[in-house]
Structure 1
Amino acid sequence: MTDSTLKGLYEVVKNRKENPEEGSYTCYLFDKGLDKILKKCGEENAEMIIAAKNHDNDELANEMCDLIYHMLVLMVENGVSLEDVMDILEQRRQKIGNLKTFHQVDKES
Structure 2
Amino acid sequence: METLARLEQIILERRSCDPETSYVALLKREGRPTMARKLGEEAVEATVAALSGSDEDMVGESADLLFHLMVLLADRDIALADVMAELDRREGISGIEEKASRPKEGETTNAH
TM bucket (normalised to shorter chain) is 0.7 to 0.9
Matched residues in 2 for 1:69 and 1:98: separation?
Answer: 25
Which residue of 19, 27, 30 maps to 1:29? 27
1:58 aligns with 2:56: yes
Which residue of 17, 21, 43 maps to 1:20? 17
The number of residue pairs the alignment matches comes to 96
Normalised to the residue count of structure 1, the TM-score between the two structures is: 0.81
Deviations 1:21-56 (CA, angstroms, capped at 9, x unpaired) = 341011100010001101100110000000001152
What is the alpha-carbon root mean square deviation over aligned residues? 1.6
Percent identity reads 30
Matched residues in 2 for 1:24 and 1:30: separation?
Answer: 10
Matched residues in 2 for 1:97 and 1:32: separation?
Answer: 39
**Paired AA for residue 10 in structure 1:** E
Matched residues in 1 for 2:48 and 2:96: separation?
Answer: 30
Which structure 2 residue ranges, 5 or more long, are not aligned? Answer: 98-112
Larger Rg: 1
2:5 aligns with 7
Matched residues in 2 for 1:97 and 1:45: separation?
Answer: 24
Compare relative contact order (CA 8 Å, sep 6+) and give the higher one, 1 or 2: 1
Matched residues in 2 for 1:20 and 1:59: separation?
Answer: 30
Secondary structure in 2 matching 1:43: helix
Residue 91 (structure 1) shift:
1.4
Task: Detail structure 1 runs of 4+ shifted over 2 Å in the superposition.
Answer: 96-100
Normalised to the residue count of structure 2, the TM-score between the two structures is: 0.78
1:49 aligns with 47
1:38 aligns with 36
1:78 aligns with 76
